[in-house]
Structure 1
Amino acid sequence: MLARFAFSFALFLPAGAVADDGEQKRPPNVVVIMADDLGYGDVSCYGATALETPHIDALADRGQRFTSGYCSASTCTPTRFSLLTGMYAFRQKGTGIAPPNAASLIQPETVTVADLLKQANYETAVVGKWHLGLGERGAGPDWNGDLKPGPLEIGFDHAFLLPTTNDRVPQVYVQDRRVLNLDPADPLWVGAKKPSPEHPTGITHRDELKMDWSHGHNGTIHNGISRIGFYTGGHAARFRDEDLADRWVAESVAFMETHQQESPDDPFFLFFSSHDLHVPRMPHERFQGATSLGFRGDSIVQLDWCVGELTAALERLSLTEETLVVFCSDNGPVLDDGYKDGAVEQIGDHQAAGPYRGGKYSVFEGGVRTPFITCWPGTIAPGVSEAVVCTIDLPASLAALAGVEIPAGACPDSVNVAPALRGEPGATGREELVVQNNGSAFALRQGRWKLHRHDGKRTQNLVVETKLAATPVPRLALFDLETDPRETNNLIEERPEIANQMAERLEAYLSGGRTQR
């Protein structure tokens, strides 16, 4: 892989990144914290008043808070795919929400952000939710053997994972390539069909549930919660939902501490892939009841605690001014996403998507415009930015900060927005952006204009606002975000020339004929 890359620190490091003796400083450590299902209005620095997020707010106070920060999709798997590969997920088949036994969606030959950073001597780690599949195409995960290809085959030195997502089976940790603490005498089996007539599920054993399901999540029961899919065995390897955040923080802090002990002269990259506040929302007992919003709100407070623990570790290791922290979310908010956890009943006046319409599963702004913060004390001046930036831009932007040249054809849709991430005066971010839902709806933003395109029958039952609702939508719709940020006034008949031009450009992207690099 080394032959595919070249790098020159002097070209890309921020102005002033030169030591007194004239030597070029090393590039920064990078910690990317990705929340799960966190909406634009879910944290206090973006306007939430029903709860407080002091540690996330502290990042914003010390860095750049973006008002046009996006994820590339309104569901988790495609956003995470694009963050790592710098490629729109719609360019590869099978990148919708991954089922439990999905094979690896990112093949070893694909250049990732971790690959790029390793060429600048970064040590790389991913901790938390994966949900990008494991194992060979056509085979999928070997739960009782080596789970590869996986993160270690696409540029990560270390991995400590929830292999799928926690409303899907199995509830086990994967450390590097193996299920942690798996007893060979109790092998793990994962499948899409009920393994036996007597297998307990959320339908047949509903009285055993400590959190009831509302739709869909009624397969295998673990820890009093039924999930999507079925599994047996692996009992010694199973975790308790309430302990996820604590364990991931502990693993992340241990990675940073060990790195500083063993390789203090080299930078590191940590992708902290949180599961908060995805369903099933089951925060640790010490956070339960912390807000008036039920377990969804309590999970936001738990997420904020995670941010505080990670930034405190950086401070303790004297790494605060040597580390770029990026805080983002994989998509917008949803209330009832399959469990009866009080999110709908206890929402009150809280506006999870802030001033925007829509949420998870939609291409309205509420589904894809989320909190996005960059913090690098001593390098990034505090401020608020209107620049358009997206999680898909991290590969090109971090490569630029590290002085790495991206090989031809790699990361085709990732734009170098490093000047905007650093808060440089006049930095404008990207000029246009394509976003998607799980693959049946798309939108193109160009400045003030945004064009929606809805394909297939499913989009006629689009999930809008933050509740499940059947809402008919036209195939094409045009909105002016400057005058209509809630996207309520379709201007396609009033401005057909703009709509037609944008529809042609969007089609060029979707047909594979246009990239952004």
Structure 2
Amino acid sequence: MKFPFLPALLLASAPLAHAAPPNVVILYADDLGYGDISCNGATAVRTPNIDRLAKEGLKFRAGYATASTCTPSRFSLMTGKYPFRQNGTGILPGDAALIIPTGQPTLPSVLKAAGYRTAAVGKWHLGLGGKGGIDWNKPVSPGPNQVGFDHSFIMPATADRVPCVYMEDGRVVGLDPADPIKVSYRHRLEGEAPPLEKDQRKVQSDPQHSMGFVNGVGRIGHMTGGTKALWKDEDMSATFCKQAVDFIRASKDKPFFLYYACHNIHVPRVPGPQFVGKTSMGPRGDSIVEADWQVGEVLRVLDELKLADNTLVILSSDNGPVVNDGYLDQSVVKLGDHKPAGPWRGGKYSNYEGGTRVPFLVRLPGRVKPGTTSDAMVSQVDLARSLAKLAGASVAADAFPDSKDVLPALLGESPTGREEIVGLGSQVTLRRGSWKYIPATGGKKASTPDQLYDLATDPGEKTNLAATKPEEIKQLAARLKEITSKVTPREPVTEE
């Protein structure tokens, strides 16, 4: 697909000091908490491959996703735009339309225009097709390939949502035309198998995750057909990892951008048999080990092809951790002393630091000093503009409205990143300097007062200072109102 808007937005600039523009690999984990990796203090689980990135690169103490849930964070990473700027960017059902307008610049489209070969592998969860609904038995468009990716091999949404199939470049992989797929998020489908008894289930699940069953695992939504195309949960990591490695091999002779969004450690946690029992924490811990293995496979092929020295690798997560998230997988009873969010309060879905302060590691040999740690504040929304600069392309000021060029901080060349961090949990929050502000909420059933924490002295957000710091509250509230004042309706997505 052509992007007619890009020539006006991309201005030639001298590439940074590399023999060739560096390759870019983003390893994007799902629900992986700050404290879930051993280089951030975990002891109940070991993550040697992730730790290798920290040892050979830069670890951020203040690296953030833009939201404490998945879809909005992924939207920001791709568009350089806060999710609240556009309506309809919350957690999407599996049959949602694409929420990224095809007529606007994205991180992959900018890198593609700069000469990169681009691929998305793994979890997508940004919608597919237009508003007229999806026919899974035909090519589905628009999708990843229409917003800048040359190649895509994805799951449409999440592992706990139907349809439970892989899609490659807009087509369901392995679909038998004689066994068409039907999907509904509203009602049971004719011919759908009856719900399984609890003793027949591979993993016990709550009612929300027991609408339909695929491979003995409860899912959100109903699905019939596509029997030959169904994924096998135990094989998902190996399948996605092979696709990622194959893309790197096929792209070794030109600059490439790989967005590898592995599905670990999102529920349902059904790790491959070689990872079962690797930790004392049950499937959640074993799934962390499985995620680490995938990181190791990517690093291994970069070494094998002698690409490591000219490849920027970024590892992060779409939001903070969650333990029990709808499946009874022993995640709570076997947690022990493990602290998934590390020193931070909260986790997935929350307004506190643990919801958005996530693992954030960067490696680029020769540019990033190995074994270093930074307190600079960086956000995933900044990757669009910062990586465009790394690729030697300047982007017009209005292309990525909330993305800032923090490349010097990302490469460890500056101790300063952005001045403020905007987060989205149940509401929009603001960190400015060491102050963390969570606005009051109203309502008869649920109301909370303003919250203000000094993260310099209270990193665990235990002491609310709002009552004693009215001037700080006033200033932060005014700034947050200024930031959030522009919200637009969901923009149209071009159907192709």
TM-score by length of 2: 0.94
Shift of 1:363: 1.6
Listed as ranges, the gaps of 5+ residues in structure 1 are 19-24, 461-472
Q: Which moved more, 1:392-401 or 1:503-512?
A: 503-512
Cα deviations by residue, 1:345-373 (Å, 9 ceiling, x for unpaired) = 10000011101110000020111111100
Indicate the SS of the match to 1:145: coil
Matched residues in 2 for 1:213 and 1:432: separation? Answer: 39
Q: Matched residues in 2 for 1:135 and 1:454: separation?
A: 37
- CA 1:162–1:57: 2 relative to 1, 3 Å: same
Note if 1:32 corresponds to 2:21: no
Does 1:184 pair with 2:182? Answer: no
Cα deviation for residue 410 of structure 1 reads: 1.5
2:7 corresponds to 1:3: yes
Shift, 1:219, TM fit: 1.1
For the residue of structure 2 that corresponds to 1:84, the secondary structure is: helix
Match of 1:380 among 340, 343, 368: 368
Is 1:313 matched up with 2:338? Answer: no
The question of 1:507 aligning with 2:481 is answered yes
Give the counterpart of 1:347 among 324, 335, 341.
335
Give yes or no for the alignment of 1:474 onto 2:448.
yes
CA distance in 1 between counterparts of 2:31 and 2:56 reads 24
**Inter-partner Cα distance in structure 2 for 1:94 and 1:246:** 32
Q: Secondary structure at the match of 2:223?
A: strand
Change (3 A) 1:378 1:214: same
Q: Which has the larger displacement, 404-413 or 145-154? A: 404-413
Q: Is the 8 A contact 2:85 2:487 kept in 1?
A: no
Q: 1:215 to 1:487 in 2, by over 3 A?
A: farther
Q: How does 1:71-470 map to 2 (within 5 A)?
A: 71-136=65-130, 138-196=131-189, 199-200=192-193, 202=195, 205-260=197-252, 264=253, 266-382=254-370, 383-424=372-413, 426-437=414-425, 440-453=426-439, 455=441, 460=446
Letter in 2 for 1:441: Q
Contact 1:160-1:173 within 8 A present in 2 as well: yes
* Pairwise CA distance, 1:392: 1.0
Distance 1:170 1:92 in 2: 26
Tell me the distance in 2 between the aligned counterparts of 1:191 and 1:448.
46
- Say whether 1:489 aligns with 2:463: yes
AA aligned to 1:350 is: H
Residues in 2 aligned to 1:54 and 1:337: alpha-carbon distance in whole angstroms: 26
Tell me, what secondary structure is at the counterpart of 1:187? Answer: coil
Q: Quickly say closer, same or farther: Cα 1:482–1:292, change in 2 above 3 A.
A: same
**CA 144–197 in structure 1, closer or farther in 2 if over 3 Å, else same:** closer
The Cα of 1:476 is off from its aligned counterpart by 2.0
TM-score by length of 1: 0.91
SS in structure 1 of the partner of residue 461 of structure 2: coil
Which residue is 1:22 aligned to? none
Equivalent residue number for residue 469 of structure 1: none
Map of 1:60 onto structure 2: 54
Match of 1:490, as an amino acid?
N
CA 1:201 to 1:387, structure 2 compared with 1: closer, same or farther past 3 Å? farther
Q: Secondary structure at the match of 1:373?
A: strand
C-alpha contact 2:375 2:415 (8 A) present in aligned 1: no
RMSD: 1.7
Counterpart amino acid of residue 365 in structure 2? P
Preserved contact between residue 35 and residue 273 of structure 1 (Cα < 8 Å):
yes
Against the structure 1 CA distance between its residues 235 and 361, is the aligned structure 2 distance closer, same or farther, given a 3 Å change threshold?
same
Residue 64 of structure 1 contacts residue 374 of structure 1 at CA under 8 Å; is this kept in 2? yes
Q: Per-residue deviation at 1:379? A: 1.6
- Counterpart amino acid of 1:259? S
The runs of 5 or more residues in structure 2 that have no matched partner are 489-496
Measured in 2, the distance between the counterparts of 1:406 and 1:380 equals 24
Q: Tell me if the contact between 2:212 and 2:223 (Cα under 8 Å) persists in the aligned partners.
A: yes
Q: For structure 1, which segment, 30-39 or 402-411, has the greater mean C-alpha deviation from structure 2 after superposition?
A: 402-411
Residue 108 of structure 1 and its aligned partner are, at CA, apart by 0.5
Secondary structure of the equivalent of 1:479? strand
Measured after TM superposition, the shift of residue 173 of structure 1 is 0.2
Contact 2:385 2:403 in 1 (8 A): yes
Whether contact under 8 Å (1:5, 1:119) holds in the other structure is no
Task: Confirm or deny: 8 A CA contact 2:121 2:152 kept in the other structure.
Answer: yes
Work out whether residues 62 and 375 of structure 2, in 8 Å CA contact, stay in contact via their aligned partners in 1. Answer: yes
Question: For residues 177 and 436 of structure 1, what CA distance do their matches in structure 2 show?
Answer: 30
Contact 1:83–1:393 (8 Å) recurs in 2: yes
Change (3 A) 1:219 1:231: same
Letter in 1 for 2:56: R
What is the alpha-carbon distance in structure 1 between the residues aligned to residue 29 and residue 356 of structure 2? 13
Distance 1:189 1:456 in 2: 41
> 3-state SS of the aligned residue for 1:114?
helix
